[in-house]
Structure 1
Amino acid sequence: MADFALPETRYALSGDINIAYQMTGLGPLDIVIVPGAISHVEFHHELPGLTAFLHHLSRFARVVTFDKRGQGLSDRVSGVPSLEERMDDVRAIMDAVGSQRAVLLGFSEGCPMSVLFAATYPERVSHLVLVGGFVRAGRSVSDEAFEAFVAATVKAWGTGLSMKRVIGTHDGNEREIALLGKLERLSCSPGAFKTLMLMNRRIDVTSVLPSVRVPALVLHSRADAVVPIAEGRKLAAAIPGAKYIEYGNLPHGACFAGACEGLIGDIEEFITGHRDASFPETDRVLATVLFTDIVDSTRMAVEVGDQRWHELLDRHDRLAKQTVEKHRGTFVKSTGDGILATFDGPGRAVRCALAFGAAAQQMGLPLRAGLHTGEIEVRGQDVGGIAVHAAARVMAQCGANEVLVSRVVTDLVAGAGLKFTERGTFDLKGIPGHWELFAAQ
């Protein structure tokens, strides 16, 4: 996979409210993604699926994601924004990025506002795509049942329960649930979410749907655990000339699904008239990535000579493979004077790095190691993706015999008995944002 740097977060001014957005790709078309009720433009990249989803869309379009006012990195506001205010925010973002006309791609709670925007400003919308949408929130249940659902959701806010339903996770491991819970907490407070849901219950765009005159595509899945399939069918039937496509196994948050190539292809074909059939056959998973290398390896090679140095490297590689295997990791490859490995548990990854470093030090080889947890792309025997680049950049900040980890790793191993010392905030080459790094002990 080619390098796909995480986009920079910027702000557009809507009235006196700052709206956080990111922009990806340089395609001839503009796609503005209108998020659901849970969003955080930066932390979304820590979850499996979304970065790849944006990467695929950016092959043929310039893609804009944003946090609605009151959510994520956008300004907090009192009360709940109206649909009219949310439309103002979309218009402000389009103006900020110089987009005269764009595709509106609405997800879930973002669908009603997308419909209203398309009907009100058809000159600024080329296509309307609605995924997991509805005409009115909770229309299929009684007021009492809906209020009980909201109360239960608010009570469990921050545990990952809501996002589990969104991405279709039935069980989930400890690190995944921790990420989902953190996204909920970063998106908005429990009280703000409750107010938003109760307000959404009162929104009904039934009377607006016949006024939509832009080409519309409605996508819904029978496996959607948040919005029943019947709601998607109603939505499509009420929009004149809308194209409707139904899926069998995608979750409500289809953009987080690892197997949404078909949905992406349907969107591309609807917008451009053709679809890219060359998606690489890859798997994307959440993993902790470990990079190591030998400090001052060139100097050491010169000092000990070629034959002795090759013997040391062979011992180094055998030790690395044994240590990674012992900690249930995957040894990806040797990098010459270091290794790349992945783990499905951040705690085991940190312990492996510490054990490998201590053993190598006894051999007279000072190591440095960097770890980061994020989404990786598995291509045959190799891996790629932002998390791999991030782990390499974290390692670059290390001193001899040191193991550095990102904030994500420390957050996920809380309670695992590992100790860390703050090393400060760093700018990692080629990766946006400021990164808090910690030394593992």
Structure 2
Amino acid sequence: MQQSIGFVKDRHGKAIAYGVTGRGRPLVADTGFVSHLELQWAYPPYRRFFEALSSHHRVIRFDLPGIGLGDPTGEVVDFEDDVAVLEDLVDGLGLSEMDLFGASQAGAVMVAYAARHPERIGRMVIFGGYADGPKLAAPALQESLLKLTRAHWGIASQTLADIFIAGGDEQAQQAFASVLRVAATPDAGVRRLAECFRTDIRDLLPKVKAPVLVIHRTGDRNVGFEHGRALAAGIPGAQLVSLEGRAHVWYVGDMESVLAPMLDFLGDKARPPRADSVLSAREREVALLISQGLSNGEVASRLGISARTAEAHAEHIRNKLGFRSRAQIAAWAVENVGTGA
């Protein structure tokens, strides 16, 4: 699936970059912190998540001015700037009604928009969100992270990847860190991180009228589960789905457990793309051999690769398909790749 990239101006004349996939009811997605429409789309697990949503929705993702493909001369300084960009994007695209998906700090932005524009919101999903940013970490830890980001953005990006991608493999961590370094300058990184710690939307929660689904992993290393629980408790009628896992990023780990309740809540059916649209040719070979009951050592011998490489391929397959066991890979391969006969 290809994305179509366009640009609209914000109220300051700066370009907001946006990417569109799929058809149907608009679903505006803000993935939080730092984004890059092209780099993130090139990462298979991330792309697969939005491809699944695009089966039923016109999914609209975007980069803020000063971030990713957004206007390099623009900048988002505080929370109100963040909300204003969302307002300008929606107005610029002429959207009268839509669903919303917000991850991490973007969840707060979506809550603010929904509270101020209830007539435009159908349903809203928040993953890994919070309402009380100052309580995310002790003041000393907040200050140390801001200092590290300001002084050593490269090191800070890897540190943040270790936190956001807890439990993920090295490939996922490196992909995340790369997006941070390419999509944002050190100053932009400091502004975005400082906004996380300043944001407090607790007074807006009772004003949200739309149906809301809050999804949060119980072991989230970046935003503790208690924040997701408090967020859901503060929004009238909100549903809370708790999931196992440590990764703060929804497309790492058991992604299917995120997609299933989300698609059900939005009124869709979970229909992930075929394996051959996600896996590389070599990964399809490995999946097929796993379906035949071969161990990593036997897969390595059959393909002429090291056992370590075979193990890495199996881990990548699990991550891309959102699986946790070889049995799931085997069942998927039989149905979607073939038997090799």
What is the TM-score with the length of structure 2 in the denominator? 0.77
Q: Read off the aligned partner of 1:17 and give its amino acid letter.
A: K
Larger radius of gyration: 1
Report the equivalent of 2:333.
Answer: 380
Q: Read off the aligned partner of 1:22 and give its amino acid letter.
A: G
Report if aligned partners of 2:220, 2:246 keep a CA contact under 8 Å in 1: yes
Q: Read off the aligned partner of 1:139 and give its amino acid letter.
A: K
Residue aligned with 1:168, SS: coil
Residue aligned with 1:81, SS: coil
Q: Read off the aligned partner of 1:20 and give its amino acid letter.
A: A
Residue aligned with 1:141, SS: coil
Distance 1:268 1:381, change over 3 A: closer
Q: CA deviation at 1:156?
A: 5.2
2:39 aligned residue (32, 43, 62):
43
Report the equivalent of 2:263.
Answer: 268
Distance 1:148 1:34, change over 3 A: same
2:163 aligned residue (165, 177, 202):
165
Residue aligned with 1:74, SS: coil
Worse overlay, 137-146 or 278-287: 278-287
Report the equivalent of 1:295.
Answer: none
Count the aligned residue pairs: 303
Select the structure with the greater relative contact order (CA < 8 A; seq sep ≥ 6): 2
Report if aligned partners of 2:221, 2:248 keep a CA contact under 8 Å in 1: yes
Q: CA deviation at 1:210?
A: 1.2
Sequence identity percentage: 25
Report the equivalent of 1:137.
Answer: 133
Report the equivalent of 1:199.
Answer: 195
Q: Distance in 2 between matches of 1:284 and 1:148?
A: 42
Residue aligned with 2:87, SS: helix
What is the TM-score with the length of structure 1 in the denominator? 0.61
Q: Distance in 2 between matches of 1:183 and 1:278?
A: 28
Cα deviation per residue 1:90-141 (whole Å; 9 max; x = unaligned)? 2333344442111111110111111110000111111121110111224143
Cα deviation per residue 1:66-109 (whole Å; 9 max; x = unaligned)? 11222111013566433333333223333444421111111101
Q: Distance in 2 between matches of 1:8 and 1:123?
A: 27
Report the equivalent of 2:120.
Answer: 124
| Pairwise CA RMSD | 3.4
| Residue 26 (str. 1) matches residue 23 (str. 2) | yes
Q: Distance in 2 between matches of 1:66 and 1:245?
A: 26
| Residue 17 (str. 1) matches residue 20 (str. 2) | no
Report the equivalent of 1:214.
Answer: 210
Report the equivalent of 1:181.
Answer: 177
Structure with higher strand content: 1
Report the equivalent of 1:112.
Answer: 108
Residue aligned with 1:225, SS: coil
Q: Distance in 2 between matches of 1:59 and 1:204?
A: 34
Residue aligned with 1:49, SS: helix
Distance 1:101 1:70, change over 3 A: same
Gap regions ≥5 residues in structure 2:
284-299, 314-319, 323-328
Report the equivalent of 1:228.
Answer: 224
Q: Read off the aligned partner of 1:202 and give its amino acid letter.
A: R
Q: Read off the aligned partner of 2:333 and give its amino acid letter.
A: G
Report if aligned partners of 1:11, 1:20 keep a CA contact under 8 Å in 2: yes
Q: Distance in 1 between matches of 2:128 and 2:217?
A: 7
